[in-house]
Structure 1
């Protein structure tokens, strides 16, 4: 008999592991398969924004991520020059307003910006997934699958064993930009398409002394031999040089690459070891749909975009947060299957907008950095972009107000926007109250909400923070219904009663909205 599981996840990168962990938080035991036996040989994404680190807080991993990112905590400089040795601090005068906005991030989120290369972060997520009961099957490839109205049957092939079948209620494709799952489904992609060919050289070299003098995050290199950018990986002996792909790359040996790296670093006799060489395409391609029956696309499988500020990885984490609680609610019978349609309705427009914005900086990473820091470049409001995004339709009840502004951060507790942050005590943010299940946040005058929340199976949390109540436009006797992905689902100013709102959000008759 073919074994059956609730959710099969194909892909063990950031998207797949985060989805698995969030499913466990909601009470679901998924199976995750990853065709590679170990972590990626490339550092990949490095910067994770506060919306992502908020998810790590919800997963109880904030301390581990902070420790892992500590080596690069002071690596914030942006340099430019003909070599790394000769590079100087880049003129950032055109970024003054953006720096002022970045300085406000601690006011708006309990999660920091962190530099934590994916090669460092993935083992943390994988270990947590295994410890919490996720069946992580490395070296196992999803060879093929079929689906019908009852589930998805997958053929899995371990590297050291015989193929076997596994049936799941749902399949999550977190299998990268070339997604075999998306290809098998025949889902087309739109967007700007190809933007540039690039080559990443991941190497070992002891640059501790140089990094101590100028701890840099990024260094743009303009050199006749090779232009591109250096990126810090651990701040001591692991680095990445990203450049345009060389037409003659296949004819170059390790010695040639070592010589090239010594030239652009500026140290002729430097001991260099090339760890990996990875060509990659910078492109914008977004799937025309993120759901096909019982199959869902997340991360790069859903939206491919240029890597500036790790936009793809951060968007993947948001995908996972959106999808996981919906799958869990449907699997537990707390929500109707129609709730799953809102994943595409919410995340596809958001993914397309982020991919399109990322595509305004083109070329290799050095070109992207130069364009991004240009005084002539127009930047959208960072805080509104990061914290103020509003879904236009989905699993929430509009309250009749106009949409949130896009030129500054002021979501005001609108349904379809992120729950505003405020510190309740030294360690607890309002954001930390999101999930598992739906949560009702109330003002201090909440007597009439207690019975209602109990009847509906909602967790109730009183928030006696006057500033936060004012920010969310809640009176002392008001309330917000919050989803596990930190999105407001209902505001008590709405004409819709709470019981009807829960039914609307879950798409089913009023019943317990809380995991049992």
Structure 2
């Protein structure tokens, strides 16, 4: 096998967590030779961290050919309802049941995929298997990037493995090795913002625990709300009865590293003791932090290396998947020769404001938890207790529902004001965390339509730009020729479907590789070359 140092790579990625693998898959599917350097073994998957691939990320999984594979990789048994439950105890009272909070029962009309709730090891296995199938992607395990030096023409990456320090050159370097990244610190950059509080997670095996939910419901996630006010959560993690137990925030005076203390807290919330074994625990923070820029010459920050969001809402990894989709097609465009000199600088311009919006909403979710939801008499077997629980249910629905009904943050963000988006003077719908209103205004995610059962409009857009043409009488040849002249890949489609006509307000809509609308109009522009130059990041460089 040819050594890494003698091979030629176009992109090096530091870190093979979900976000690092996502950007490598995006690049690999576009024919970009990519090296991913990861300290863990090739078959070492993380545990009890992320559980939710949201609807938007699942749409990217669909593009990458792994949406159904990911569902098949979910090891949690079907008898676990994919609901979110707020309950006093496992053997107590249900306060609120959010049915299908993490997996919709039926396809969504507004998205090509529904969220998938599956343990972290399933997410990593799905991505790792796909990455290993791509001839253009090389995974280097048991190694870690220690340094990088940029020049005008390339990046030299130093990494340490079993054979000591080595170097490899590439055109671009992506930093995807998490919030404590020393590589980010080499850029004299920190994640600015606040830490809301610290939490603890424990992963263990409990063969009889599932049976103790008979009084409530065995669900994907159970939030315990009782007068102990621990702010704790139980989550099934495997078919052989592994569980995740989360306490957020760590109560004052509790040693989160003391398993005996944590175990007693968990027993109280469940309502009785049960057999547990193989415990592993760690402490982590609920952070609301963001880097000032994600672009640094030929180096780019993505995922937790660029931003940290509080966990309630499930956006940490999913924001990183969005980063990967954005920077991936742009780097590939530049390396393929049709991306312009301004294209890569739009990565921060587009993604940072979106991340800030999601972090703000997720912070709101986190502050309404634990003691903030505790009420006197909430566990009483009495009319007073019933009324307290009813009032609390109403409060949660009014103030906290966006935690698990967040389609606005998943699907409704837009890249308004981006220099590679051509606006038409129309204001998009207000951007809200919970509610999503489809819109074809430039910068928005292109409205989704089912053309037939299982047949999404997105399945026909291609891997480059797509021109959605709703009037056969329009001559789009000038725009197609302008694209071909600079090598910009362009697919033209004319679906005959009433829902497409209803969702799209113009006869022509130009859609980017990441599904966002770049331009729209009722006729091709007078200067098609100028339009193509804008959307590919070459305006001003003609």
Q: TM-score range by the shorter chain?
A: 0.7 to 0.9
Correspondence for 1:75 among 75, 81, 90: 81
Alpha-carbon deviations, 1:236-282, whole Å to 9, x = none?
A: 61211111447563773x556555544433342x2211342011011
Alpha-carbon deviations, 1:6-52, whole Å to 9, x = none?
A: 11111111111110111112221211111222535422111222111
Determine if contact 1:84/1:264 at 8 Å carries over to the other structure.
Answer: yes
Number of residue pairs the alignment of both structures matches:
498
Map of 2:424 onto structure 1: 399
Paired residue secondary structure (1:8):
strand
Q: Please give the alpha-carbon distance, in whole angstroms, between the structure 2 residues aligned to 1:170 and 1:365.
A: 42
Show structure 2 runs of 5+ residues with no match: 375-391, 485-489
Map of 1:151 onto structure 2: 154
Map of 1:374 onto structure 2: 396
Correspondence for 2:185 among 180, 183, 202: 183
Determine if contact 1:399/1:493 at 8 Å carries over to the other structure.
Answer: no
Q: Please give the alpha-carbon distance, in whole angstroms, between the structure 1 residues aligned to 2:368 and 2:480.
A: 53
Determine if contact 1:77/1:214 at 8 Å carries over to the other structure.
Answer: no
Determine if contact 1:446/1:462 at 8 Å carries over to the other structure.
Answer: no
CA RMSD of aligned residues (A): 3.1
Deviation at 1:91, TM superposition (A): 3.1
User: For residues 81 and 471 of structure 1, do their structure 2 counterparts lie closer, same or farther at Cα, with a shift above 3 Å needed?
Assistant: closer
Determine if contact 1:482/1:490 at 8 Å carries over to the other structure.
Answer: yes
Alpha-carbon deviations, 1:461-482, whole Å to 9, x = none?
A: 22211221221113xxx22111
Determine if contact 1:25/1:436 at 8 Å carries over to the other structure.
Answer: no
Correspondence for 1:385 among 390, 409, 430: 409
Determine if contact 2:478/2:528 at 8 Å carries over to the other structure.
Answer: no
User: For residues 211 and 113 of structure 1, do their structure 2 counterparts lie closer, same or farther at Cα, with a shift above 3 Å needed?
Assistant: farther
User: For residues 232 and 223 of structure 1, do their structure 2 counterparts lie closer, same or farther at Cα, with a shift above 3 Å needed?
Assistant: farther
Q: How does 1:451-490 map to 2 (within 5 A)?
A: 452-453=479-480, 456-457=483-484, 458-474=490-506, 478-490=507-519
Q: Please give the alpha-carbon distance, in whole angstroms, between the structure 2 residues aligned to 1:13 and 1:70.
A: 19
Determine if contact 1:233/1:240 at 8 Å carries over to the other structure.
Answer: yes
Paired residue secondary structure (2:310):
coil
Map of 1:200 onto structure 2: 201
User: For residues 211 and 238 of structure 1, do their structure 2 counterparts lie closer, same or farther at Cα, with a shift above 3 Å needed?
Assistant: farther
Q: Please give the alpha-carbon distance, in whole angstroms, between the structure 2 residues aligned to 1:368 and 1:178.
A: 30
User: For residues 419 and 148 of structure 1, do their structure 2 counterparts lie closer, same or farther at Cα, with a shift above 3 Å needed?
Assistant: same
Q: Please give the alpha-carbon distance, in whole angstroms, between the structure 1 residues aligned to 2:75 and 2:113.
A: 14
Correspondence for 2:317 among 313, 338, 348: 313
Q: Please give the alpha-carbon distance, in whole angstroms, between the structure 2 residues aligned to 1:369 and 1:242.
A: 17
Deviation at 1:139, TM superposition (A): 1.5
Map of 2:389 onto structure 1: none
Q: Please give the alpha-carbon distance, in whole angstroms, between the structure 2 residues aligned to 1:117 and 1:260.
A: 23
Correspondence for 1:124 among 107, 111, 126: 126
1:214 has 2:217 as partner: yes
Q: Please give the alpha-carbon distance, in whole angstroms, between the structure 1 residues aligned to 2:29 and 2:373.
A: 37
Q: Which has the higher contact order (CA 8 A, sep 6+)?
A: 1
Map of 1:491 onto structure 2: 520
Q: What's the TM-score once normalised by structure 2's chain length? A: 0.83
Paired residue secondary structure (2:300):
strand
User: For residues 509 and 81 of structure 1, do their structure 2 counterparts lie closer, same or farther at Cα, with a shift above 3 Å needed?
Assistant: closer
Determine if contact 1:75/1:235 at 8 Å carries over to the other structure.
Answer: no
1:62 has 2:62 as partner: no
User: For residues 201 and 303 of structure 1, do their structure 2 counterparts lie closer, same or farther at Cα, with a shift above 3 Å needed?
Assistant: same
Q: Please give the alpha-carbon distance, in whole angstroms, between the structure 1 residues aligned to 2:181 and 2:292.
A: 14
1:422 has 2:449 as partner: yes
Map of 2:115 onto structure 1: 113
Show structure 1 runs of 5+ residues with no match: 511-516
Q: What's the TM-score once normalised by structure 1's chain length? A: 0.87
Determine if contact 2:12/2:172 at 8 Å carries over to the other structure.
Answer: yes
Deviation at 1:168, TM superposition (A): 1.3
Map of 2:40 onto structure 1: 36
